[in-house]
Amino acid sequence: MSDYSLLDNLRDFPKLMPDIDCDIGREKDDYSIRYGSWDIRSVFTSFTVSTDPLTPVGICKSKEGELLVTLSDIETETYQPDLHSRRLVRHVTLTGDVIREYEYQEDGQTRLFIQPYKVKQNGNADICVINRTHDDTSELVVLSFSGKLKSAYRGQKPK
């Protein structure tokens, strides 16, 4: 069991969530999201992964070299998901095969996200997601690699 805590996540937050929304890094395999076309493209190799009918928002490379992608439907209000809404983080291989989806808490009913925005994996293999809750508010949701909700940091509303 690691001593990596919420404080460590918050301290590492600037490194985990850079200002560039859809950049994976400066490695030899970079990926980008093409907005409006529901797909993810490799910058250096020729493949495309479809996410249709969901829209990709954020993307990062996992510690294993696969992809973590935040996805949302466009049929429902951004900050008011209903029973049919899809708001999730999808873990996929570089060929697009789904490894796992993070959408609900362990009870299978409670949503993890309102609008998952950015995603990164920390050194402890936790999945850190900026979850937008409204136009001017967000929270940091930290999931274990297995999908268990570890913490949610909501901060203070700006004045």
How many degrees, rounded to 5, is the angle at CA 52 between CA 46 and CA 53? 170
**pLDDT score of 40 more than 90:** no
How confident is the model at residue 17, as a pLDDT? 45
pLDDT (tens digit per residue) in 50-89: 788 899 999 999 999 999 999 999 888 989 999 999 999 9
Instruction: Strands of the chain (E only): list them.
Output: 31-34, 39-42, 48-50, 55-61, 67-72, 87-92, 98-102, 116-121, 127-134, 137-143, 149-153
Q: What's the rounded Cα separation, in Å, for the pair 90 and 119?
A: 10
**pLDDT score of 49 more than 70:** yes
**pLDDT score of 147 more than 90:** yes
**pLDDT score of 12 more than 60:** no
**Residue with tokens 């076309």, as numbered in its chain:** 37
Average pLDDT in the chain: 79
**Domains of the chain and any CATH numbers:** 6-153 (2.120.10.30)
Q: What's the rounded Cα separation, in Å, for the pair 115 and 80?
A: 9
